[in-house]
Every structure is written in structure tokens, then in C-alpha cells.
Structure 1
Amino acid sequence: MPLTQLIVLAIIQGLTEFLPISSSGHLALVDELTGWADQGVLIDVAIHVGSLFAVLIYFRRDVAELVAGSFSLLRGEMTQAGRLALYLVAASIPIFVIGFAVVNAGLVDGLRAAATIAWANMIFALLLYWSDKAGGTTRKLEDMTWGQAMLIGIVQIAAIVPGASRSGVTMMMARFLDFDRREAARFSMLLAIPTILGAGAAATLELAQTADVTLQGDAVLAAVLSFVAALASIAIFMRLLEKISLTPFVIYRVVLGAALLGWLYLA
């Protein structure tokens, strides 16, 4: 794979994965606009694994508490961190089930069309705006219930459509449920861990078994670049949420969607 393509894809993935602007939509558009050959599943997963490590590092205290809470559950003790760990696992089940069905049905490629990305960006951006304006800021993750966790997990299914944005739809539902912006973003990012971990473990095993040294090197480089970009993106985003609403991200997505539709139908 050309080094330029590898760098561009890794940086775009790292910067957009945890922002409410759809990383899958941006990656699909790169392929659409540049005509580059598909990078392959292993490289795609590698850049996701890089962004996963960024979440683990940034939220290392949360992750340590989740691990401790999980061990407490094994001893029969229900702690606050253990309950959150259960919420994250349960909320991940819907997208695992539906995602598996979509992949097996061969529907993935059909969802990557530029028009789909454009409309998904605009529709879900407006829903995000509505939730951010209508939602309160009274709830923290400590207040979360099973029903709220499952609602967030169910809407995460929409992320299968490039342009909808996994982080965007999960933050949208959390804001509708009156979680403040930072807590909504925190749960959304922690919710990414089970999903990326599952795909990453399978891809890492496959990569270790391949004799293609070049592919292995490309995957490692892609993961490192994605990690650096994602860590910077998360830190800046969490700090911005102390000062601004989600409106700038909504505006960006609406403009992007409108520009894509103009390019498709007016050019």
C-alpha cells in the first residue's frame, strides 16, 4: 500500500473515530474521492486498534476501575464500576448481532455510497442538534440505569450506516436522556472498547499468522499513527465540551452532506 494512503487513512480514522462526525463516512469518502484501492480489512482494523489504545490511555482510570469492578462481579460483589462494565457489555450486544447479520447478508458495500453518507450525515446531525438543545445536564454515568444503557446500545446500531456516526448517535441518545455532554462523550468512548476489542483480537491473530512482512509493517505503522491522532483528538474534544455545545459538529456535518449532494447531483 502507498505510504501516503496509509498515513491519510490512519490520521483520518484517529481524528474522527470519537468525534460525532462519522469516521466510517470519512474513510469511505476518501476511497470514493481518490480512487485508491481498498486498504483491506486488516489495515482497517489496525487503525481502529490504534484508536482503541488511545481510549484506553486517556480513560485509564475508568478502565482500571472497570477491570476492578469486573473482578468484583466474579466474587459476587456489585460495585458501581462493575455495574457500568455490565452496561457497556450489554449495550454492545445489539450492534454485534445486527452488524454480524448485515455483514453476512453482504449489505456493507451497498451502504458506502456517497449519497447514503451525505443523507445520513445531515439527518443524524439534525437529530444530534435537537438532542443537545432539548437534553438536560443533570445526569452522570453514576445515575445510569439498565434501560438507559440499552437505549444507547440500540441506537448504536445506526452506526452501521456510514455517515450516521457511532459516537454521534450514542451521544445523541445520552443527551436525550439528560446526561451532560462530557458524560455522554465518556460513555460513548468507553462503549467503543468492546466493539473494537472484538474485531481487533481476531485481526491481530490473523495478522500474526500471515507471512506478509510488508502487510505486518503497514498495520503496525497505521496503528501507531491512528493512536497518536486519536489521543490528540480525544483530549481536545473533551476539553472543548467544557466550553462549547455540539453545534459546531452539527454545522460541519450538514455542510459536508450538502456539499456531497451538490457534487453528486449538480456537478
Structure 2
Amino acid sequence: MEWLQVVVLGLVQGISEFLPVSSSAHLILVPVFTPWEDQGLAFDVALHVGSLSAVIMYFWRDLWKMAFAWTRSVTHREVDADAKLAWAVLLGTIPVGACGLLFQEAIETHLRSPIVLALSLIVFGVLLGWADWKHRGERSEYQMSWKDVAWIAFAQALALIPGTSRSGITMTAALLVGMSREGAARFSFLLSIPVIALAGMLEVWGLVQSQEAVDWATLIWGTLISGVSAYACIHYFLVFIRRIGMQPFVIYRIALGIVLLAVFL
């Protein structure tokens, strides 16, 4: 891989993983609009490790409290707000994990096209804009009901459709049940941890089976670039939506979708 390709893919993954704009769409489009060949499974694993490391480092205090509280909920049946949030993250991962195992091959075979990306970007972008404009409330991630958790969890399964955006659809669902922008984003980021970890483990399994040659220097740089850019993205995104909201991302999604339709139809 060229070093420019390593930098571009690392930045694309790190920035788009946590923005409501679909990282899968952008990673699919990079080889469409450049002469670069597919980066390979090993590099995909490195990019996921970088993103996962960033979100764990950013929320490490919250995760430590959640882990401690979750353990007490299991051993002493004491469920406080942190334990409930930990259970919400774990239970919220089940639908997307199950759907991924059942339908991932069919989705990758039939839905990974620029037209599907374009339609998903536009449709789910409009839905995000509507949810942010009409339905957002003031509740934080600690004030969700179990019904809210189930709604967001099943919405997250739609992220398997390329172009939907996992962060985008979970934030949309959270806004629709009356959560604040920051609460919706924070819960979406916490939900990403088991999802990215599961996706990374599946990629590692595929890598072991394929026995692909590993260029360790390239993987390390890809991991670092993805991780640093993802960490910065999480921080500045939370500041941005607090002040401005989701509408700029909605406009970007619709514009990108229209460009793709114009190019590929």
C-alpha cells in the first residue's frame, strides 16, 4: 500500500466511524474514486482496532464505573444507573449481532452498490434531520427506559445496510424517543464498542483463515491514524452538536447521495 492510501483510509475510518455519515459508505467509495486496489482484510482489522481503542480511551472513566456497577448487579442484585447503562449497551448489541450473523453474506453480495449507498444516505439522512428537528428532548443516556433501549437496539440492526450509518441510525432512534443530542451521541458511541469489537473479531477470524501476508508497519500506522482521528472526532463532534446540531450532517448526506446518483445512474 502507498503511504498516501494508508493516511487517507486511516482518516476516513477514524472520522466517519463516529459521525452520522456512514463509514462503510466512505470506505467503499475510496477505491471507486481512486486507482487504489482494495486495502485487504488485515488493514481493515487495523482500522477497527484504532477506532475501538479511541472510543475506549475517551470513555474509560464511564466504562470503568459501568463495569464495576454491572458486576455488582450480577453478584449482589444491585442495579444503579451505571449498571442499567451497562446492561443497555450489552442488550442493545444483540439484534445487530444476530442480524449480522444471519444476513451479512447476503448483504455484502447484493447491497454493496453505489446506488444502495446513495439511497441509504438520502433516506436515513432525511430521517435524522426530522428526528433532530421535531422529536429531540432533554433526556440523557442514563434516563432511558427499557422500551427506548429496545427501539434503539433494533434500529441499530439497520446499519447493516450500506450507507445507513450505525452512529446515524442509533442517534436517530434515540432522538425519536426524546433524548438530547448529546445523550443520543454518547449512547451511540458506547453502543459502538461491542459492535466494533465483534466486527473486528470476525475480520480477525477471516484473516486467520485466509493466511494473508501481514505488513506490520502499515498496520501500525493505520491503527494510529485511525485511533487519533477517531478520538478527536468524538470530542469535537460532541461539542459541535451541542452548539449547532445534526443538520449539517443531514445536508452532507443528501448532497453525497445526489452526487452518487448522478454519477452511477
Structure 2 CA distance for partners of 1:184 and 1:235, relative to 1, 3 Å: same
**Alignment-derived partner of residue 224 in structure 2:** 224
Q: Counterpart of 2:96?
A: 95
Once residues 7 and 109 of structure 1 are traced to their aligned partners in structure 2, the CA distance between those partners, rounded to angstroms, is: 28
Aligned to 1:149: 149
TM-score between the two structures when normalised by the length of structure 2 = 0.93
Q: Which residue of 1 aligns with 2:246?
A: 246
Q: CA deviation at 1:62?
A: 1.2
- Residue 67 of structure 2 aligns with which residue? 67
1:220 deviation in Å? 2.1
Code of the aligned partner of 2:24: S
> Aligned pair 1:86/2:70, yes or no?
no
CA separation of 1:213 and 1:259: change in aligned 2, threshold 3 A: closer
What letter matches 1:58 in structure 2? Y
Superposed, 1:1-16 pairs within 5 Å as: 1-16=1-16
Shift of 1:254: 0.5
CA distance in 2, matches of 1:115, 1:171: 24
- How far apart in 2 are the matches of 1:110 and 1:218? 31
The residue type equivalent to 1:178 in the other structure is G
Counterparts of 2:84 and 2:154, CA distance in 1: 18
Q: Distance in 1 between matches of 2:232 and 2:115?
A: 30
Equivalent residue number for residue 27 of structure 1: 27
Partners in 2 of 1:44 and 1:193 — Cα distance?
Answer: 16
CA distance in 1 between counterparts of 2:182 and 2:135 reads 13
Range with greater deviation from structure 2 (36-45 or 148-157) = 36-45
Stretches of structure 1 lacking an aligned partner (at least 5 in a row):
none
Residue pair 1:28, 1:162 contacting (<8 A) in 2 also:
no
Equivalent residue letter for 1:63? L
Residues 29/225 of structure 1: CA separation in 2 closer, same or farther (3 Å cut)? same
Quote the Cα distance in structure 1 between the aligned partners of 2:89 and 2:22: 20
Q: How many angstroms apart in 2 are the aligned matches of 1:5 and 1:242?
A: 33
> TM-score if structure 1 supplies the norm length?
0.92
Q: How many residues align?
A: 263
Instruction: Quote the residue 1:193 is aligned against.
Output: 193
Q: Contact 1:128–1:250 (CA<8 Å) still a contact in 2?
A: yes
Stretches of structure 2 lacking an aligned partner (at least 5 in a row): none
Counterpart Cα distance in 1 of 2:158 and 2:152: 11
Kindly indicate whether the alpha-carbon contact (under 8 Å) linking 1:32 and 1:114 is maintained by their aligned counterparts in 2.
no
Q: What amino acid sits opposite 2:72 in the alignment? A: S
CA deviations 1:52-81 (Å, max 9, x no partner) are: 111111112211111111221232222211
Give me the CA root mean square deviation: 1.9
My pick for the range that moved more, 248-257 or 40-49, is 40-49
2:107–2:161 CA contact under 8 A, matched in 1: no
